[in-house]
Amino acid sequence: MGEAKAAAAAAGTDEGGKTFDAIVIGAGVAGLYQVYRLRELGFSVRGIEAASGVGGTWYWNRYPGARFDSEAEIYQYWFDEAMFKNWQPSERYPAQPETERWLNYVADRADLRKHFLFDTRVTAARYDEAAQLWAVDTDRGERLQARFLISCTGMLSAPLNEVFPGQASFRGQIHHTARWPKERVEFVGKRVGVVGTGATGIQVIQTIAPQVGHLTVFLRTPQYVIPMRNPKYTPADWAKQGARFAEIRDRIQRTFSGFEYDFSNGAWADLTPAQRTEVLERLWADGSLALWLASFSEMFFDEQVNEAVSEFVRQKMRERLKDPALCDKLIPTTYGFGTHRVPLESQYLEVYHQPNVDIVDVKASPIERIVPEGVMTADGTVHELDILILATGFDAGSGALTRIDIRGRGGRSLKEDWSREIRTSMGLQVHGYPNLFTTGAPLAPSAALCNMTTCLQQQVDWITDCIRSMREQGRREIEPSKAFEDAWVAHHDETANRTLVVKTHSWYMGSNVEGKPRRLLSYIGGVGTYRQKCDEVATSGYRGFTFA
């Protein structure tokens, strides 16, 4: 019996096995691992998941063309070498169905499913200061309790799906990419519209363009794009990766972005123009995110370097786009390369050469409302559609948590606190919310600038070690001090404000959600540096955190 459960039973508060050492929200990459780790240490743990299966992002984002752009050999768990070796990715960047299958394979192999309540959404969580327990309410009318509440709710999981007035009046089908139906959506011969050209919209557009009758892309901000090189992986290829298991695992903990590659091309200023071009060409040809996350770190700080790399990418795009009018529409000029998420793509730009594909410039004439026939723009035009796809993104970082009514000490509300300022202590806890741990949360490295499996496992490991050390020391409550949190926020801001990233509009800064406080949502000091800082806190006996 777990410690919280025993205490609750002794106090007569364990209503029918509803009290746990920990409740984990989410059965995605982080949630599965968090449940695994706590269970292995003998804690009682209950996972709660809104979906009907495991997978998180890979459950919800089943839109056409969804795939990751982390290499299959790094988008992995590291707790079971045989599990790695016995899985055979089909290619370097597998698509959503395969990644969802992989997470099911992990859940089955580690026997994790039985710990989760599926089809159950956490609606509220309130910290009971006297009992030092979290009371967690679900949309099934159940109340569970736990000493620790751990959110594994994902950085990009609160979809912006109510974007335009009149959506309910649309006569055709309307789908947000992160709520894509399991049933097949038939595109053949249909008039389809896509709003959004982020990493998601690009994948959708390039995938459905060959099938649709007509495609209308409602374009507001074009993207710098890199063509993906996605070779098939044979069993022999995967055996080679398996032989490198420990090497890969150890390497990705220390790099800037949690990928295998890192900035290792020398300083921009030390190279001749020809040498710089040689590096950029080599990384371009790799067809990965290395051009962004492992070329020249100066690109993030120095406007001239950034402009040079941006121009390199623009020229690559021009060569493919040929038509100057398309170049004007599709090649970014108002922000620098890499100052927000760089998508990998396959034949995305070529789509716009198809005669049945049109761009509607919604910067010039914004979408005003959805009408029964389609999309009405500010100039009064109605763009008639059968299917409207919203690739409009997410309330990133904070949205998954502010959509739950979370109440900390004195009944304070996380939603209200974060409506004024989004703050955390290393993205792992929030002052005022004892015993709440967070993964994939603001002010830690995450989706923006990290291979998610790397960052999430590191955060889960830190949380697990902390909870284990509390058990060893007989401690029941942990909370970061205000001073510690202030110092982390100040360090985070100082690191962020030295970069050009803070100057670009995107979900990275929260500027895609009206009224959301602005702050870079991901820590940009590097995955290796962040890990070191987290480790220092742990080895100091959690200096900056108060215990009860």
What residues make contact with ligand NAP under the rule CB under 6 A? Answer: 68-69, 156, 163, 195-201, 203, 218, 220-221, 341, 362, 367, 391-394, 447, 507, 512
Q: Kindly tell me which of 94 and 432 has the beta carbon lying closer to ligand NAP.
A: 94
- What's the closest the beta carbon of residue 507 comes to ligand NAP, in angstroms? 4
Give the C-alpha separation, 173 to 500, whole Å. 39
Please state the closest distance from residue 339 (CB atom) to ligand NAP, in A: 12
**Residue 393: CB minimum distance to ligand NAP, A:** 3
* Smallest distance from ligand NAP to CB 228, Å: 9
- Looking at the Cβ atoms of 322 and 363, the one nearer to ligand NAP is 363
Nearer to ligand NAP, 212 or 448 (CB): 448
Nearer to ligand NAP, 434 or 442 (CB): 442
What whole-number distance in Å separates Cα of residue 125 and Cα of residue 141?
13
Q: Provide, rounded to whole angstroms, the least separation between the CB of residue 391 and ligand NAP.
A: 5
CA-based nearest residue to 220, from 201, 192, 204, 247: 201
Nearer to ligand NAP, 393 or 440 (CB): 393
Q: CB within 8 A of 16, min separation 6: which ones?
A: none
- Residue 442 and residue 399 in contact, taking contact as beta carbons nearer than 8 Å: no
Residue whose beta carbon is closest to ligand NAP: 198
Nearest distance, CB of residue 543 and ligand NAP, angstroms: 33
Given the complex with ligand NAP, which of 517 and 544 has the nearer CB atom?
517
20 bridge partner residues: 146
CB of 495 to ligand NAP, least distance (A): 19
CA-to-CA dists, residue 487 to 62, 128, 408, 544, angstroms: 40, 27, 21, 10
Q: Which is nearer to ligand NAP, 163 or 185 (CB)?
A: 163
- What stretch of H or E contains 326? helix 324-330
| 466-475 contacts, C-beta under 8 A, 24 or more apart | 466/437, 466/538, 466/542, 467/21, 467/22, 467/38, 467/41, 467/43, 467/148, 467/437, 468/41, 469/538, 469/542, 470/547, 471/3, 471/43, 473/547, 475/547, 475/548
* Helix segments in 371-506, DSSP class H: 399-402, 414-420, 452-473, 482-497
Q: Which residue reads 């996605």 in tokens? A: 230
Kindly tell me which of 27 and 449 has the beta carbon lying closer to ligand NAP. 449
Q: Residue 405 Cβ, how far from ligand NAP at the closest point, in Å? A: 25
In this structure, the number of other CB atoms found within 10 A of the CB of residue 167 comes to 15
Place of tokens 């409009």: 392
